[in-house]
Amino acid sequence: MILSSLGKHRDTGLLILRIVVGLAFMMHGYPKVTGGMEMWSGLGGAMSVFGINFGAPIWGALAAFTEFLGGFLILIGWAFRPVCILLAFTMLVAALTHYTGGDGFSGYAHAMKMCAVFIGLLFIGPGKYSLDRK
């Protein structure tokens, strides 16, 4: 049966996951990267969930570039585990911001799910079809 042989294609599954998640984060992060100082200030304000109320444009720029460049690095599978840590933290901040903002489950669910995906990928690794394996 075909379902019993899918385990042999674990690395293909990881490649598909990396491509889709990487492209999605690049597309999601690009407007944030190009949004400039005003966008970065708004994004960086999210750090107030940890009581950090200074340097909002810096934190925002870090988040924007983490999403965009991190998405690219996930896609190609390079510096995979460090990028997973950075993206998981970015998604944690996003989830907590939506949660404390009273956005309800639908407001923070996506960021919470992606945080879990990046933590899971941190343990699994990029698979053999990645630059980290070369």
Q: Are 108 and 115 in contact, with CB atoms under 8 Å apart?
A: no
Average pLDDT, rounded, for the chain: 96
What's the predicted TM-score (pTM) here?
0.94
Mean of the pLDDT values across residues 31-44?
Answer: 97
Residue 7 has pLDDT above 90, yes or no: no
Name the DSSP class of 126: -
Place of tokens 């990267």: 33
Q: Write down the pLDDT at residue 70.
A: 98
Q: pLDDT-derived band of residue 3, with 50, 70 and 90 as boundaries?
A: confident
Distance, in Å, from the CA atom of 118 to the CA atom of 68, rounded to the nearest integer, reads 15
Residue 128 DSSP one-character state: S
- Residue 75's nearest CA partner among 129, 28, 122, 10 is 129
> What is the three-class DSSP state of 24?
helix
More confident position, 133 or 18? 18
For 83-104, what is the mean pLDDT?
98
Mean pLDDT of 80-90: 98
CA distances from 62 to 12, 34, 122 (A): 31, 13, 20
